[in-house]
Amino acid sequence: MSQSDLLELVRFIFDNTYFTYQGRYYRQTLGAPMGEGSLATVLEHFNSYNTHLQFTAEEEVDNSIPFLDIRVIRMGEVLRTDWYNKPSSSGRYLHYRSCHPQNMKLNLVTQMKTRVLRLTHPTFHSQCIFKLKKLFVMNGYPIKLLNKLLCNTSSSPPVEVTMSLNTDAMIDRADIVYATIPYIPVLSNKISLIFKDYKHIKIVKTMKHPLFKLVFSRLKDKEKEEYESGVVYSIPCGSCERTYIGQTSRWIKERITSHKSDARRNLRTCALAIHANNNDHVIDYSNTKILFKEPHYHKRLFLEMLSIAVTDNTMNTKQDTNNLNNIYSYLIELSKNFASTNS
């Protein structure tokens, strides 16, 4: 079967799925065909293509099925939702002793509560609150505080996101200036207290300040330059003003090694080797620079030619830029003339 035939078949199935409900026929407008029995076959088929690309399917167990972080429970004719955590969930949240602003921690508790209560059916609310309390105790939150935040108001009032008509609202929002400062316990609070009376200045305490980047290391090392690949590079001569410009798909480190070997063997196909041998010059490999990073071969060739064309005093031969379209050569000449007449 050809690919287009298969696609047409799939499209046909998705466009022509019908089901009956209370004696009436309906055409399904969204999703895959429903029904029992076919799931296992479909799954087996999908997973037969590649051992590294495996799908799983969640099936209803005891009249319930988890979906994201809720569990949908079928109770006769109605569906009810309960809060659900994956078995792999670590239960780790912002720890109470973590160096974060206090209001951030309080907000976390109240927001979790609002979220959980909104998502779940009232019959599950008391056990959800119990679960939340247990979770935050595990994360170091004092029980007294949790009782106050979680248990005080029995039904959670929905948080209305509307502008209240207080003095803050009288100030045009466009006039408000936000200033970000790194969160430092005690100090940041004192600073924001100073600005409390200035309604048009808002101090935002952040954990994402550039300062923190200095303190916390990146998880992944930056690639060492000599192990860069797919680059346009320049190598200067140590004895005169000329530079060699080249490109490679290999590690820059490897390319330098082969340049050294070419120069030693006096290879006549390498412009760098020719320059070093004809003039008895010493190449300054330690000052190799990466001009462009470009994984695409043809784009890289173009950038190499362009670099040769715009650089004065290269070791490269004239034919290295032969493939550069005349229009580019013309534009480069024009810009060089323009620069020299304006300096």
| 129: CB partners within 8 A, 6+ apart | 113, 150, 151
Choose one: 172-180, 206-214, 278-286, 316-324; the region binding Zn ion (CB under 5 A).
278-286
Question: Which x/- pattern, by CB under 5 A, does the window 196-235 give for Zn ion?
Answer: ----------------------------------------
Q: Residue 192 interacts with Zn ion (CB under 5 A)?
A: no
CA gap 301, 297 in Å, rounded = 6
- Token pair listed for 70: 């809720």
CB of 262 to Zn ion, least distance (A): 15
Report DSSP state, residue 88: T
Residue closer to Zn ion (CB basis): 83 or 244: 244
Instruction: Estimate the crossing angle of helix 297-310 against helix 326-341, to 10 degrees.
Output: 40
The count of residues interacting with Zn ion (CB under 5 A) is 5
Residue closer to Zn ion (CB basis): 59 or 241: 241
CB of 236 to Zn ion, least distance (A): 8
CB of 283 to Zn ion, least distance (A): 8
CB of 235 to Zn ion, least distance (A): 11
CB of 274 to Zn ion, least distance (A): 11
- Amino acid (one-letter) located at 317: T
Report yes or no: 296 and 285 within 8 Å, Cβ to Cβ: no
For the CA atoms of 320, 323, 327, 332, what is the dihedral angle to 10 degrees?
Answer: -20
Q: Binding to Zn ion (CB under 5 A): which residues in 231-270? A: 237, 239-240, 242
Report yes or no: 297 and 249 within 8 Å, Cβ to Cβ: yes
- Token pair listed for 251: 């590690």
Q: Residue 137 interacts with Zn ion (CB under 5 A)?
A: no
CB of 276 to Zn ion, least distance (A): 7
Q: Residue 272 interacts with Zn ion (CB under 5 A)?
A: no
Report yes or no: 18 and 27 within 8 Å, Cβ to Cβ: yes
Q: Is 258 helix (H, G, I), strand (E, B) or coil?
A: helix
Q: Binding to Zn ion (CB under 5 A): which residues in 293-322? A: none
Choose one: 112-120, 182-190, 266-274, 277-285; the region binding Zn ion (CB under 5 A).
277-285
CA gap 248, 230 in Å, rounded = 6
Contacting positions for Zn ion (CB under 5 A): 237, 239-240, 242, 281
